[in-house]
A and B are shown apart, each in its own frame.
Chain A
Amino acid sequence: QQPVQSPQAVILREGEDAVINCSSSKALYSVHWYRQKHGEAPVFLMILLKGGEQKGHEKISASFNEKKQQSSLYLTASQLSYSGTYFCGTGATTSYDKVIFGPGTSLSVIP
């Protein structure tokens, strides 16, 4: 079952912060975050496994609450290069097979 993402779209000015949420009705083992620039393939950002560990690099971080079946992606001090569509993907089992992606959140950073 496809995870739900919110918001559907967000517009930021450079330097502002944003939070993108992802939730599932199923128990989750893993949550993945990808960013897709227009006309390009999605690029992996980070993966969070069951255990609630928060991860991040530079100004992008994420958390995973497996009890609530939710994950959030945090973008701080946004840059123009952060523009794109962000997808969360969820894995329900420990077996390394399929990931179901959410509908995406369009993020636009303007000067």
Chain B
Amino acid sequence: SQTIHQWPATLVQPVGSPLSLECTVEGTSNPNLYWYRQAAGRGLQLLFYSVGIGQISSEVPQNLSASRPQDRQFILSSKKLLLSDSGFYLCAWSVRTHIQYFGAGTRLSVL
């Protein structure tokens, strides 16, 4: 069966520090991969999605970037975090359908 791993679960970072969040999927090949951000009490904002290795679509211009170095690995990065980057970051995958399966999420606090 397919599983999605996302880490770390919680992260506290100072303003101006770099960021790297990793997401990996097991049990499937060539998945679509997604990064979402959810501010406290708000909806799901699509940040990036990828339909293949090295193929990244950015939905919102911002302080973040994404990379897909391997088929089932998706990385969210920032060179310098801002206070506004705080939130709940979710990785998701889908294969051949629109159904998306979410990881457990990373709660990021930028102080």
| Residue A30, interface by CB 8 Å | yes
B44 partner, pick from A44, A47, A91, A101, beta carbons under 8 A:
A101
| Residue B99, interface by CB 8 Å | yes
B31 → chain A, closest Cβ, in Å?
10
| Residue A64, interface by CB 8 Å | no
Q: Which chain A residue has the least Cβ–Cβ distance from B95?
A: A96
Asked whether A91 lies within 8 Å of B43 as measured between CB atoms, the reply is no
B 74-111 contacts with A by CB, 8 A: 90, 94-105
A47 partner, pick from B43, B57, B97, beta carbons under 8 A:
B97
The CA of A43 and the CA of B4, in the complex, are separated in Å by 13
Q: Which residues of B contact A41 (CB under 8 A)?
A: 90, 102-105
A 59-111 contacts with B by CB, 8 A: 87, 89, 91, 96-104
Q: Which residues of B contact A89 (CB under 8 A)?
A: 44, 98, 100
B33 → chain A, closest Cβ, in Å?
11
With most chain A CB atoms within 10 A of its CB, the pick from B32, B59, B98, B105 is B98
Q: How many residues of B contact A (CB 8 A)?
A: 24
Q: Which chain A residue has the least Cβ–Cβ distance from B103?
A: A41
- How many cross-chain pairs have Cβ atoms below 8 Å apart between A and B? 57
Q: Which residues of B contact A47 (CB under 8 A)?
A: 97-99
The CA of A54 and the CA of B102, in the complex, are separated in Å by 24
Asked whether A91 lies within 8 Å of B98 as measured between CB atoms, the reply is yes
A91 → chain B, closest Cβ, in Å?
5
B32 partner, pick from A2, A87, A97, A104, beta carbons under 8 A:
A97
B105 → chain A, closest Cβ, in Å?
5
**A99-B43 contact given A41-B103, A41-B104, A41-B105, CB 8 Å threshold:** no
Q: Which chain B residue has the least Cβ–Cβ distance from A106?
A: B41
The CA of A100 and the CA of B100, in the complex, are separated in Å by 11
A76 → chain B, closest Cβ, in Å?
23
| Residue B64, interface by CB 8 Å | no
Give 12 A-B contacts (CB < 8 Å), ordered by A residue: A41-B90, A41-B103, A41-B104, A44-B100, A87-B43, A89-B44, A98-B34, A98-B57, A98-B59, A99-B46, A99-B98, A104-B42
